[in-house]
Chains A and B, each alone.
Chain A
Amino acid sequence: MQNKNNKGWYLLFTAPLFIIFLTVVVIPFVIGIYYSFFKWDGIAANPKVFVGFDNFIKLFGDTRFLESTWKTTLFTILAVISVNIIGLVFALLVTSKLRTSNAARTMVFMPYLIGGLILGYIWQFIFLDVFTLIGQITGLENVFFNWLIDMDFALYALVFVFTWQMAGYIMIIYIAGIQSIPNDVMEASMIDGASWLQRLKNITFPLLMPAFTISLFLTLSSAFKIYDVNLSLTGGGPANSTEMFAMNIYNEIFGYGNYGYGQAKAIIFFLIVAAITLTQVYITKKREVEL
């Protein structure tokens, strides 16, 4: 009788959320895999044509898609380096005993709250008007022009705005990591005569590895999946040169109406993201130092 009672409670507590979760995530995922083997234009009345693996073979020859993949990878590498360096620098700054720490923390974190889409619009304005204005005033026109019209600089603009958005969030994670380093280890090293640089290199960095794992995981996956900032800042950029992965998929499905083909791309997207993030977590977990 106990068993039946327990099962009842178990269901009551877990079923509601699990059912919603199944409907919204699991079932569409499976349906998506099914769709990727078909050619379809999204209109229910038109037939779905079974094409097997054709969609997957096709995407290896799709130059715009491959361009997207390359640009997204480039963006991700630059973004991850940029966000982590800035986040770490500010974290070190905020945890030192300088008086500006609270204000700095607020200002660096605020962009994360504003959200990607709106940030993109703000910076579009800045690049368009403010940059050109500064360029005219100072005469440094090869640095202060509208970055968004140039195919290379538009990508850098994306990195810039993404860093602006994420650095605050990552800074918080590093702050938590730094604050969890026990004081006695630091004091012992100072008694032993370690310089600031030595302490940074041999104590802070190794003990920050767990925070680094998390922040690398977060930045890698958010950078790779970027969409909001992409849409509002460049909209795919001058001549599709900044069309990232996520945007390419969206345009394929809802723009061109190639539902099956687009879904096949989406599945590949998932596989790449999963492969990258799992590998990264595995490698960084191995290097974490236990105290």
Chain B
Amino acid sequence: MNFLNALANSLYITILSVLIIVVLSSMTAWMLARTDNKLSKIIFMIFIATMLIPFQTLMMPLMQFMSTITNTLHIPMINTREGLIFMHIGFSSSISVFLYHGFVKSIPITLEEAATIDGASKFGVFWRIIFPILKPITVTVMILNVINIWNDYLLPSLTLTDKGLRTIPLSTFYFFGEFTIQWNLAMAGLMLTIIPVVIFYVLAQKHIIKGIGEGAVK
């Protein structure tokens, strides 16, 4: 089943994607929440509206578009882990921006005004004051995205064709394709895939429960 290889791929993709998602979506949501013009409202509406679009509606044109980019602009999108990370970021943006936006609105703007008076740049205000306050919702965003990206089967199955690039769900799928009757091997393989999840849960338990509750009520 090539488990260690798949584990490494899954870790690489999940960790990088989640880190970039947290940084970019918090920045975007904060700027959208603090700027009160029509453009911000429209952009935010677009983010939310697309939450309704199921993946199946996008999968085919996305693959076509990505191959076009790969062929014409020579930026490798298909069959690379980086291309997959790029796509995961795109798909997570709606919900991540939505969660951050709601939270940012509840932070009093006086904090930022005080910092600006004291001479902080916009960058300084964001990174040294706002981002630490965002910790609870950042945890929620991280956890939701980790679960989604780690367990995702469909997007990697369409993007990654090399055997060596497979993530855990992919390698499980192909493993079951080859060994449909040898259940003892299959069960052993499944147990392996569950171990990282259990470890993750044991470490993050408190935060997961708290985060989902808060995210939902907001």
Mark A residues whose CB is within 8 Å of B: 9-10, 13-14, 16-18, 20-21, 23-29, 31-32, 35, 105-106, 109-110, 112-118, 121-122, 125, 128-129, 169, 172-173, 175-177, 179-180, 210-211, 214-215, 221, 225, 227-228, 231-232, 246, 249-250, 253, 259, 262-263, 266-267, 269-270, 273-274, 277-278
Contact = CB atoms under 8 A, between A and B. Distances in A.
A28 B63 CA distance: 9
A21 B153 contact: no
Contacts, number: 194
Contacts of A16: 24, 27-28
Contacts of A249: 56
Given A9-B122, A10-B31, A269-B57, A25 B217 contact: no
Given A24-B91, A115-B169, A266-B56, A14 B31 contact: yes
A102 B19 CA distance: 30
Interface stretch (B1-9, B82-90, B131-139): B82-90
B153 A246 contact: no
Contact of B89 (A14, A17, A121, A277): A17
B114 interface: no
B190 interface: yes
Interface in B204-218: 205, 208-209, 212-214, 216-217
A24 B61 contact: no
B129 interface: no
B79 interface: no
Interface string B81-111: 0000011011101100100000000000000
Contacts of A169: 212
Nearest to B54: A225
Contact of B28 (A17, A24, A263): A17
B12 interface: no
Tell me the interface secondary structure of chain B in the complex: helix
Given A26-B46, A32-B61, A20 B56 contact: no
B60 A227 contact: no
Contacts of A173: 212-213, 216
B14 interface: no
Contact of B56 (A13, A24, A221, A269): A269
A180 B56 CA distance: 37
Contacts of B64: 28, 31, 35
Given A25-B53, A228-B151, 10 more contacts: A27-B65, A110-B198, A115-B151, A117-B153, A175-B213, A176-B217, A214-B216, A231-B153, A231-B173, A253-B59
B217 A211 contact: yes
Contacts of B28: 13-14, 16-18
23 contacts: A10-B31, A14-B28, A16-B27, A16-B28, A20-B86, A25-B90, A31-B61, A31-B65, A35-B61, A106-B205, A113-B147, A115-B150, A117-B169, A118-B151, A125-B183, A125-B187, A172-B212, A177-B216, A227-B56, A227-B154, A232-B176, A270-B54, A273-B54
Contacts of A121: 172, 176, 186, 190
Contact of A14 (B27, B52, B153, B217): B27
A277 B91 CA distance: 19
Interface string B28-61: 1011100100000001001100101111111111
Contacts of B147: 112-113, 115
